[in-house]
Amino acid sequence: MTGGSTFSFRSRVDRDMTSLWPQIEPILARVAKPARYIGCEDGAVTEGPIEGRVSWLLIYPDAYEVGLPNQGLQILYEILNERPGARAERTYSPWIDMEAQMRRRGLPLFSVDSHRPAGDFDVLAFNLSAELVYTNLLNCVDLAGVPVRSARRGPEHPLVVAGGHCTFNPEPLADFVDAFVIGDGEEVVGEVSAAIESWKAGGRTEGSRQRLLRDLATIPGVYVPSCYEVTYDGPAIAAVTPLYPDTPERVEKRTIADLGAWPYPRRQLVPMTEVVHDRLNVELFRGCTRGCRFCQAGMITRPVRERPAEQVLQMASDGLARTGYDEVSLTSLSSADYSGIDSTVRGIIDDPACRGQVSVSLPSLRVDAFTVGVASQIQKVRRTGLTFAPEAGTWRMRQVINKLIREEDLYGAVESAFSQGWRRVKLYFLTGLPTETDEDTLGIAELARNCVAVGRRHQKGVSVTASVGGFVPKPQTPFQWFGQATAEELQHRIALLRDATRRDRGVQLRWHDPKASLAEGIASRGDRRVGAVIEEVWRRGGVFQEWSEHFSLDLWTEAMARHGLSLEWYVHRDRDRDEVLPWAHISAGLHDDFLWQEWEDALAAAGTPDCRWTPCYDCGACTGYGLEHVVASNVAPAGGSQGTGQDLSTGAEVPVFLRPKAGAGVAGE
Amino acid sequence: MSDRVRLRIRFAKVGKIRWTSHRDVARMWERAFRRVELPLAYSEGFSPRPKVSFGLALPTGHESVAEFLDVELRGLAGVDLDRLADRLSAALPVGVDATAVSVLEPGTPSLQEDVTSCSWRWTAAPADGEEPVGEAEMRARVAGVMAAPTLEVTRSRKGTQVTEDVRPGILALEVVGDSLDGVVLEAELAAAPRAVRPAEVLSALGPGLEERHVRRTSQWIQRHGAPQEPLLAARDDATEAPHAMERAS
C-alpha cells in the first residue's frame, strides 16, 4: 500500500453503507430455500444508525439453517447491539447455488439483516463450532472481497476475528484470521470493540492495522497470530515466541464468573423458515465437571457456573410468551446435573402462561433412571425416542474415557424409558478410542442387544439404535496426545459391529463416515503449516465439508501430499510429553500435569470421579482463575451413580460454592 | 364439542417475507396464534396439532393480498373479534398481515373444496439476455392466447414429462400497462380442477419471458351462480382491518 491509497479508503469508510437488496432479489427465484437470505427473523436488528459505530458482521460459516440457532452468536449479537458505540448484523455461508449466482453477478457476501455488503463492515467475526467449516470461513472472507491471508490486508479491509470452541487450537487458521477470542465472549467482545472504535476514530491510517493488532494482543483472552513466531525442528515445533515485549507468552481463556449476570439471549431470534433446533433455548449452566477425557467442550468450559433457577424460569416464561414457541430446551453439557432440575422442569410446565401446551426438552440426558423420570414428566405426549450416550461398550473402555456409567445405570434408564411408553432408544458410542480392542468394540453390540432384551419385557417391537462415531482427539483434552485411529481401523470396527448386529431385528446400527473423521483430525490438531492445506482445499472448491454430499477426502489428502505434510505425523501418531503441541501457547486453564496424569490414568483404565461430588483434584480451572464451581446444591441428587461409578445414595455434602438464595445476602461456604 | 367455532382469516404476504414457503407461513401462524393466546382447538392423538387449514398454496416468492386460512377455536369467550386482525398482525412478521376475520357458518365447505379461481397481477420481464417485449406486441400475443382453442404446456412431474392443455384454465387475461421491468398483466386463472400458474400463462405467451412481482389479488368461490370473495361468502358481517396493510411495505 502506498500513502496515496489512504485517501481513497477513508472516503470508503465514511460512505453510507447501502443495501444490496435490489440486486439480491432477482436471483432469489433461481436458488433453493431463498428464505435463507432474507433475514426478517423476529428479534433481528435492522434499524438504527450504523455509520460512526463499530460495525460487526457476525458470521456462522455454514448453511443458514445450521447457523441461525447458534446461541453463542446470538448472545454476542445482542450484547453488541446494546453497546452505544457498536452495531452488529449477521450472515451465514451462502449455499452453493447462491454463491454461483453471486459470483456470476459480482455480488459480494452481504448481511441478512439489512443486506449491506460484508466488506463495508469494520469486523468480520466468525463463530467456529466445527473444524470442517474452516474452508467456508475462507470462502466467506473471499466473497466479502477481502484477501484471505491476513498479511495481504490493508487498512481499508475489515478486521477478521474468530471465536468458539475450535479456537482452542487456532493455529490451522493463523494465516487467515487476524485475531482469535479464546473462551467466553460476553465480556471481551466489548473490550475488542472499544479497541476498534479507537482505530476507526484515528482514521484507519496506513500502518494502523498492525498497531491495532498489537493492542488487541494485550487484551486478556485475545490471540493475535501475527504477534507470534513459530520455529520448527524438522516436522516438530521448536518454539512459539511472542514478537513483542507486551505480548503474553501464553493466552489464557476468558471466563465469566457469574452466568446469572448475563441473561442472554433476551430476544432469541425466531427464524421465518425451517432451521435445526427450532425452539426456545435457555442455558442452564456452562462448564462440566464429569471429566470425560474425550470431550473438548467439557474440558475447556470449566468451571461449572449454574444460572439461578428463578432466572431460568423467568427466561423460559418471557421467551415463550414473546416467541410463540411451544417447546423450550434447557441446554448445557449435561442438563440433568443442574441443581434442582426436577423442580425447574416442573416450574416451567406448571407455569399458567404455558397452559399445558409447552414441552420441555433436555438435549443431553444423563444415563440413569432418575433422568428418565424427569423426562417422563415433560414428555406426556409424543413419547417417541430417547437418546443416551454411554460412549463405549465395556466398563474397561468407559474407565479409559472416564465416562463412569455402570451397565446397571444404562439398563435402569432403558427399563424406565420402555416401561413408561417410549418406543425407541438411541445410544451414542465412539469407536477408535485409546486402547480399544475388538472385545471393547463388540461390547457396543452387546449393550444394544441387552437394552432390546430389557425393552421386550415391556413392549413388543422395541427398537434400539446404536449410533457410532469415529473418535477424533481434540486439543486441550487428555487425549490430545493420542494417535487417531486410521480410516481402515475405523472401517474394521464398524464391520465388526455390522456383523454382530446383522441378525438382531431390534438393533439398528448407524455410523459416521470414517473419511470425514480423518479430515476432521487434520484440522483439529494441525499447526500453522496445515493452513496451506485448508487454503488449497478451498481453492479447489472444497466448501461445505460438513455435508456428506459435498465432502471430499481426496481434496484433503492430495493437499497434504502436495505440501509435504504427513497424515501419520499430523493425525495418527501418539505425541510425547515433551513435544511442543501447536496450541501450547493457548490455555484453557487446565494444568499440563493434570492433562498428562489423566492421559496416563486413561491408559491404565483408571477413572477420575466427578469433582462436584468428590474432593477437588485441582485441574487448574478454578484455582488458576480464582473461580469456583457455582452450583445451587451441594447434595448429590437421588438415583444412579451420578457418573462416578460409585454409590452416592448417602447424599453426603460436597465442597462447592453455593449460590446465595435471592434476598439472603450471604454467600455459602 | 358444540361451542367450537371456526374463523376464516384473510391475510396478505408481501415484501421480503414472500420468499418463505407455504409451510413456513403455517408455522408463523401457529406461533402468532399462541402469542395472542387464541383458544385453539387441538387435534386428538399422539401428536396434537392446532386445527388450522390453509387454502391454495402460494408459490414461494409470490406476493398476495388474498390469502385465507380457517382455524378452529374451543370457543369465542375472551376473543375480541373486532381487534383480532390487528392483534394478529402485530404478532406476525412484517409483511404478513391479517386483513379481515369472520366467523364461519357451520357447514361452510373448506377453502380447498370451495375456491374455483384466483386473480393475479404480474410483470412479464425479459429473461437474462433477452430482448424486452413491448406493450403492443404483448397485447397481440394475449389476443392470440385468448383466441386459441387449446394451449399445450409441457412440464416435468416426478421426473416424467406431462403435456396438458391450460387454455380452459385461463378465464381472463389482459395487458394493464407497461413498467420499467416489463409489461404488466392481469389474469383470472382456474384453481380447480387443475390450478393454472402465472408462469404457465407466461410460457404460452412466448419464450424469453420471466415472471416478476407476481401477486395474487383475489380468490373466488361460487355462490348462487356468482363469484364471491371467500370471506364475504362466508358471512356478510366480516370484520375488515383497514390499517393492517400499513405495516407491509
3-state secondary structure B129-178: CCCCCCHHHHHHHHHHHHHCCCCEEEEEECCEEEEEECHHHEEEEEEEEE
Contact predicate A536/A562, CB 8 Å: yes
Using a CB-CB distance cutoff of 8 angstroms, which residues of chain B are in contact with residue A324? Answer: 30-35, 91
pLDDT score at A5: 33
Across chain B, mean pLDDT equals 90
State phi, psi for A281 to the nearest 5 degrees.
-120, 135
Contact of A32 with chain B, judged by CB distance below 8 Å, is answered with no
Cis amide prior to A609 (ω within 30 degrees):
no
Look-up of cell digits 486410521: A486
pLDDT score at A663: 36
Lowest mean pLDDT among A85-89, A605-609, B236-240: B236-240
Using a CB-CB distance cutoff of 8 angstroms, which residues of chain A are in contact with residue B32? Answer: 324
pLDDT score at A337: 87
Give the tens place of pLDDT for each residue, A197-207: 999 999 999 99
3-state secondary structure A413-454: HHHHHHHCCCCEEEEEEEECCCCCCHHHHHHHHHHHHHHHHH
CA distance A561 to B210: 48
Cross-strand pairs, B175: B185
- Please give the residue of chain B at the shortest CA–CA distance from A353: B37
Residue B29 in grid coordinates? 401462524
What's the mean pLDDT in A108-121? Answer: 96
Q: B48 and A381: CB-CB below 8 Å? A: yes
Contact predicate A463/A423, CB 8 Å: yes
Cross-strand pairs, A230: A240
Using a CB-CB distance cutoff of 8 angstroms, which residues of chain B are in contact with residue A326? Answer: 30, 34
Across chain A, mean pLDDT equals 90
Beta-carbon contacts of A407 under 8 Å, excluding residues fewer than 6 positions away, are A395, A447, A450
Using a CB-CB distance cutoff of 8 angstroms, which residues of chain B are in contact with residue A357? Answer: 34, 42
Distance (Å) from the C-alpha of residue A195 to the closest C-alpha of chain B?
A: 36
What's the mean pLDDT in B100-114? Answer: 93
CA distance B157 to A311: 53
Domains identified in chain B and CATH numbers: 5-112+230-242 (3.30.70.580), 114-226 (3.30.70)
**Strand A159-163 to strand A123-127: parallel, antiparallel, or no bridges (unpaired)?**
parallel
Rounded to 10 degrees, the C-alpha dihedral A449/A450/A456/A461 comes to -20
Q: A272 and B32: CB-CB below 8 Å? A: no
Most confidently predicted of A409-413, A448-452, B149-153: A448-452
What's the mean pLDDT in A260-268? Answer: 97
Q: B93 and A321: CB-CB below 8 Å? A: no
Give the tens place of pLDDT for each residue, A313-369: 999 999 999 999 989 999 999 888 898 888 898 899 888 776 667 888 887 778 877
- Please give the residue of chain B at the shortest CA–CA distance from A321: B35
Q: What is the per-residue burial (b if ≥16 Cβ within 10 Å, else e) of B197-206? A: bbbbbbbbbe
**Nearest residue, CB atoms, B34 vs list A34, A326, A381:** A326
Amino acid at A428: Y
CA gyration radius for chain B? 20
Contact of A151 with chain B, judged by CB distance below 8 Å, is answered with no
Contact predicate B69/B38, CB 8 Å: no
pLDDT score at A336: 85
Contact predicate A628/A657, CB 8 Å: yes
Pick the CATH number of A4-252 from 3.10.20.340, 3.40.50.2300, 3.30.479.10, 3.40.50.150: 3.40.50.2300
CA distance A141 to B177: 44
3-state secondary structure of A83: coil
CA distance B109 to B104: 10
Count of beta carbons in the 10 Å neighbourhood of residue B43: 11
pLDDT score at A543: 98
Nearest-5° angle of CA B34, CA B40, CA B44? 120
Shortest CA distance to A37 belongs to which of A65, A14, A6?
A: A65
CA distance B189 to B166: 10
Residue A35 in grid coordinates? 428464505
pLDDT score at A117: 97
Using a CB-CB distance cutoff of 8 angstroms, which residues of chain B are in contact with residue A29? Answer: 61
Q: B20 and A38: CB-CB below 8 Å? A: yes
Using a CB-CB distance cutoff of 8 angstroms, which residues of chain A are in contact with residue B24? Answer: 35, 272-274
**Chain-centre distance of CA A371, in angstroms?**
24
Amino acid at A104: R
Q: B20 and A37: CB-CB below 8 Å? A: no
CA distance B142 to B187: 11
Domain positions in chain A are 4-252
Contact predicate A135/A538, CB 8 Å: yes
This model of the complex carries an ipTM of 0.90
pLDDT score at B192: 86
Give the tens place of pLDDT for each residue, A496-534: 999 999 988 899 999 999 999 999 999 999 999 999 999
pLDDT score at B49: 85
Contact of A270 with chain B, judged by CB distance below 8 Å, is answered with yes
